[in-house]
Amino acid sequence: MVLGPEGVGQRLGVRSQGMKYRLATHDDADAIRTIYNREVLGSTVTFDLVPRTLEDQLSWIDEHSGAHPAIVAVDDHDRVRGFGSLSPYRPRPAYRTTVENSVYVASDVQGQGVGKGLLVELLRLAAAHGFHAVIARIVGGHQVSIALHRSCGFELVGVEREVGRKFGRWLDVVLMQKLIDPGAPEPPSA
């Protein structure tokens, strides 16, 4: 059964009151890149090293439409407070039932349930679009993101050791996974 956004949110305990979740548009590009570039420049949670230009961000939004959407969390004034996306996991065609998620929340509203609201909405969209598995790749030691994904039913798959390097440090990647509907009947052969 695929629950609507309220149903999924209630089941997973979303507590971001007053926030709305909608598909991202070109008008959101600047707000999205402001949130993202802060992490590019100041943290290891993204392995990007160079901040996104407005042009990069617009192309990213174009790439994240249709089956692989980008969404934003907006407050009462339609101000973007966070964003998330589903991306193809790997280019080879047999991976097409799997997606990779990402979630970013503005620093002044972290810890208020916005990240969870975004992830719940991404899981709803992944189910609605017929995807089977969702993968999260999280920098080693990022306990908040690991807890966020665990609270939405993701399980630890394993750790890739020292696969990244940023700010002069080796970085591990923690791989987590959620099967959307493990009880569903097998699809016809690929």
- Measure the CA angle with vertex 46, ends 81 and 16; round to 5°: 25
Instruction: By CB under 6 A, tell whether 151 contacts ligand COA.
Output: yes
Q: Nearest to ligand COA by Cβ — which residue?
A: 115
39 binds ligand COA (CB under 6 A): yes
Taking the least distance from each CB to ligand COA, the nearer of 79 and 184 is 79
Minimal distance, residue 58 CB to ligand COA, in Å: 21
CB within 8 Å of 187: residues ≥ 6 apart: 97, 132
113 to 132: interface string for ligand COA, x by CB under 6 A: xxxx----------------
List 45, 58, 175, 179, residue binding ligand COA (CB under 6 A): 45
Q: How far apart are CA 145 and CA 162, in angstroms?
A: 19
Tokens 């080693």 belong to 140
Query: Would you say 92 or 169 has its CB closer to ligand COA?
Result: 169
CB of 78 to ligand COA, least distance (A): 19
What number of other Cβ atoms are within 10 A of residue 42's Cβ? 10
Does position 89 interact with ligand COA (CB under 6 A)? The reply is: no
Strand order of the β-sheet with 133-139 is 20-23, 70-74, 80-88, 98-105, 133-139, 169-179, 155-166
Residue 113 phi, psi (nearest 5): 95, 0
* Residues at the site binding ligand COA, with contacts judged by CB under 6 A: 13, 15, 39, 45, 103-105, 110-116, 138, 142-145, 147-148, 151
